[in-house]
């Protein structure tokens, strides 16, 4: 997602092995951040609250806005991140990510993929993400800028 507006900024398919989602996120963040000098943020669910992910994200000059994993262990996030108002805003806007994945699975063609092979599935996923953005854009453009800012605050 980009700027908490509900648009998908990067997409990638990987083999499912328990670590692939986090590895893919790191690859996409590396690509996104190498074009910038300023720090960016990334929002994610509690599955990303691991020492490796949080540490690597910080090395990439990215601030991790991940949900704390409070189940049975201490979170890997500290007050450096959680004390800022932007952290709470990111957590409150996570529903946009879930809404996008819901659209991809319900309306888009990802409920039951009929293609085989990582390359073909990746093509379908990225194409579906672009279609989602095209459907979302007219609604975003119709909103007055002040109303959009109020929603993010």
> Would you list the domain boundaries of the chain?
20-152
Q: How many CB atoms lie within 10 A of CB 122?
A: 15
Mean pLDDT for 85-109 is 87
Would the pLDDT of 71 be above 70?
no
pLDDT at position 46 over 90: no
Name the pLDDT band for 146 (thresholds 50, 70, 90): low
Which pLDDT belongs to residue 64?
Answer: 92
Retrieve residue 112's tokens: 């039951």
Q: Please classify residue 57 by burial: count the beta carbons closer than 10 Å to its beta carbon, then call 0-12 exposed, 13-18 middle and 19+ buried.
A: buried
Is the pLDDT score of 37 beyond 50?
yes
Mean predicted confidence (pLDDT) in 32-54: 88
pLDDT at residue 1 is higher than 70: no
Residue range 78-99: mean pLDDT, rounded: 85
Could you tell me the pLDDT band of residue 22, with boundaries at 50, 70 and 90?
very high
Q: What is the pLDDT of residue 153?
A: 46
Residue 150 pLDDT exceeds 70: no
Q: Which position has the higher pLDDT, 148 or 143? A: 143
CA atoms within 13 A on the CB side of 43: 21
Could you give phi then psi for residue 60, rounded to 5 degrees?
Answer: -80, 5
How large is the average pLDDT for residues 57-61? 94
């Amino acid at each position: 997602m980009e700027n908490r507006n509900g648009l998908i900024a990067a997409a990638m398919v990987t083999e499912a092995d328990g670590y692939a989602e986090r590895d893919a996120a790191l690859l996409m963040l590396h690509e996104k951040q190498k074009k910038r000098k300023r720090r960016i943020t990334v929002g994610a669910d509690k599955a990303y609250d691991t020492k490796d992910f949080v540490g690597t994200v910080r090395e990439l000059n990215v601030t991790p806005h991940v949900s704390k994993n409070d189940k049975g262990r201490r979170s890997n996030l500290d007050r450096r991140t959680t004390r800022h108002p932007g952290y709470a805003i990111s957590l409150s806007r996570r529903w946009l990510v879930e809404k996008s994945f819901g659209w991809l699975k319900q309306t888009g063609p990802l409920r039951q993929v009929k293609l085989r092979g990582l390359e073909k599935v990746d093509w379908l996923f990225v194409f579906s993400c672009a279609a989602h953005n095209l459907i979302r854009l007219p609604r975003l453009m119709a909103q007055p800028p002040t109303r959009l800012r109020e929603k993010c605050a």
